[in-house]
Amino acid sequence: MNIAIRQDLRTPQSLIGRVSLVTGSTSGIGLGIARAFAGAGASVVLNGFGRPEEIAETKAKLASEFSVRTSYSDADMSKPDSIHQMIEETLDSFGRLDILVNNAGIQHVAPLQDFPIEKWDAILAINLSSAFHTMRLALPGMLHNKWGRIINVASAHGLVASPFKSAYVASKHGIVGLTKVTALETAEQGITCNAICPATSTRRWSRHKSTGRRRRTASRASR
């Protein structure tokens, strides 16, 4: 899914000279974030899965539309060695990494007693451990430059729970806690670390018996 930025809503180019890396950014929310950084003048490193020709087209479109440098890493966010290679390649190509957005995430729904062990391990690895690895590898350069911005995309499930989402809820609560620790450790070094907790609403509707009009009967966070 391509998310367009309207010409009149683009951010001022306040990030010229900065380098951003957004995990899980070949589509959806991650790509929208990457486009916003490109619109502000930052170079962009994309990461994620997809058809090679579509990723190449996305990368080229960002570069031409916003006149910024772009690159792509196919790093598997469940593997520390692959994450390490992605950060090293970013530093080798651009000489710095200023902005890190940990957006990659997966989901699985099942009762706790039936939750597949391999799904638990994969969700914790991609949703939580990958952020630990990207941050620990990006921080030395940010500390050296005394400037950095880290954004961890959590979820409403980082604040509340839903049934049948044990791994997802655990990982998102974990990313909120990890963010707090990182923010405290870097607060005096010119580096900020924040978590955002987006949510979508699942709404249920019923007909009023006397009027026949539809009315909302329930709403809950579903992301």
81 vs 98: CA distance, rounded Å: 21
Altogether, the residues listed in the chain come to a count of 223
Determine which one of 62, 168, 173, 179 is catalytic. 168
Residue type, 116: P
Residue 7 structure tokens? 């010409």
User: Which DSSP state fits 172?
Assistant: H
Residue type, 27: S
46, with CB counted inside 10 A (0-12, 13-18, 19+), is buried
Q: Is there a catalytic annotation at residue 72?
A: no
Catalytic residues, which ones? 168
